[in-house]
Amino acid sequence: MSTSSISLGLGLGGGKSATSSGRPAGGGGASFTNQYSASLDGTNDMVIYNATANGVNSGKTALGTFTGSMSFALWFKQSGGVYESLVSSRHSAWSTSGVSGNKLTAADGVQGKFDIDIAFGTTLRAFVYDSSSRTLLNLSAGSVTHNAWNFVAYVFDQSAGTHVVYVGDESTAPSVGSTLSNSSTMEDFASGFNVGDGQQATFEGLVDEFAIFDGKALSSSEVATIWNSGKAFDYSSDASLNPVGFFRMGDDDGGIGTSISNSGSGSDSADAINGASFVSGAGNTPGN
Amino acid sequence: MSRKYVIIDASEVSAVDFNEVLETSPTTLRYSLDGSQTFVKYEGETPSFLEGKTQYSHSEILTILAGEDWTDPIR
């Protein structure tokens, strides 16, 4: 990966980057740019939002109940790995050492509910635990491109009883990669989430623009809006979307520190841990 | 600056100065599946408590972590 890597905690000079919201220039308000993403080294770097009472950076305010429809979207660029986790929910009952709190088959008996991973750099997979049947449901969620920016949106529509994964990239609009007819809810997200960690090995590569919605199943047109022709989307330009969490991986924090501000309606920040770093430069953000 | 990685026994965690490694805290360490080992990473000079131990590069540690002692993925 060609990176301009700056360890968190060090300053970074501010080169200007292209406005990527798609809004007309001079439209008023601060310009929306996407200069940074989070770089994860594949060993134990990750981004966490810990709304449990246990572990590092615990006690965040829950982003919602996640007992009904929900969605999330993000960009990622994977550089390594055979099986690597991308996003997982945490679990309120987790109380042992370690950061994960999410394992689908945890040694401590805690049964996590959700994990999305990448197999062999090309196949996105999502695992949802069905509490009724006590089985792990596997969505073969679609093809992704290794070492390139991919866009993923996950939508659970409670009224329709479906879990839908949309996949796109910088030049290809998102389309449905997989649909699962199942009404399992995603309430583990009330305990938070991990980006770059889950049941599989930790993620190696870049992640950016993670947004999460509670009580909302994104429509296909909304997913296309968020994809924004292959660039980061400025959620403030569309009040109807209103994510509870929108974590820009450095852009709201000047590319320094370990706190990742929430630009959604929620108040608490996420955290980059174990040496996760913000990076900038060509190829290190979607659309740039 | 390249990172260096060192595997340590779980019993040695109490000796780690988390101001000198990139891991956030003892609770964020990743352990081997049997819980007997973990690792830490650092940039620059080797912390004194890691001197004399085997250092791995990024690619080397990734190979180790992909092994069955550290990873039990869903296939």
Find, among A192, A223, A29, A198, the residue nearest to A125 by Cα.
A198
Residue A1 has pLDDT above 70, yes or no: no
Residue A143: what residue type?
S
Q: Which residue did the predictor score with more confidence, A201 or A17?
A: A201
User: How do residues A131-170 score in pLDDT, each as one tens digit?
Assistant: 788 888 888 888 999 999 999 999 999 999 999 999 999 9
- Residue pair A55/A195 in contact (Cβ under 8 Å)? The answer is no
Q: Which residue of A has its CA nearest to B56?
A: A43
> Which residues are A268's β-sheet partners?
none
Residues in chain A with CB shorter than 8 Å from the CB of B29 are 44, 97-98
Please report, rounded to a whole number, the percentage of residues in chain A having pLDDT higher than 90. Answer: 68
Average pLDDT over residues A116-129: 91
Question: Going along A79-203, which residue ranges are E strands?
Answer: 83-89, 114-119, 123-130, 135-143, 150-157, 162-169, 175-181, 192-195
| Whole-number Å distance between alpha carbons of A284 and A234 | 18
> Which residues are A83's β-sheet partners?
A119
- Residue pair A280/A249 in contact (Cβ under 8 Å)? The answer is no
| Whole-number Å distance between alpha carbons of A231 and B7 | 39
> End-to-end distance of chain A based on CA atoms, in angstroms?
14
Residues in chain B with CB shorter than 8 Å from the CB of A55 are 27-28
Asked if A200 lies within 8 A of B22 by C-beta distance, the reply is no
Kindly report the pTM of this predicted structure.
Answer: 0.89
Residue A100 has pLDDT above 90, yes or no: no
Q: How many residues does chain A have?
A: 288
For A41, half-sphere exposure in the C-beta direction (CA atoms, 13 angstrom radius) is 29
- Residue pair A34/A16 in contact (Cβ under 8 Å)? The answer is no
Residues in chain A with CB shorter than 8 Å from the CB of B75 are 83
Q: Which of B43, B62, B75 sits opposite A43 (nearest CB)?
A: B62
- H helices then E strands: how many in chain B? 1, 3
pLDDT of residue A268: 97
Asked if A204 lies within 8 A of B62 by C-beta distance, the reply is yes
Cα–Cα separations (whole angstroms), residue B44 to A102, A270, A278, B41, B47: 33, 27, 19, 10, 9
Neighbours of A140 (CB within 10 A): 14
What is the ipTM for the molecules in this complex?
0.92
Residue A228 is encoded by which pair of tokens? 């924004």
CA of A30, closest CA in chain B: separation in Å?
33
Residues of chain A with a CB closer than 8 angstroms to some CB in chain B: 7, 41-44, 55-56, 80-83, 97-99, 104-105, 117, 127, 136, 199-202, 204, 258, 273-275
Residue A105 has pLDDT above 80, yes or no: no
Q: Mean pLDDT in chain A?
A: 86
User: How do residues A29-56 score in pLDDT, each as one tens digit?
Assistant: 468 999 999 999 999 999 999 998 888 8
| Whole-number Å distance between alpha carbons of A95 and A101 | 7
| Whole-number Å distance between alpha carbons of A257 and A77 | 22
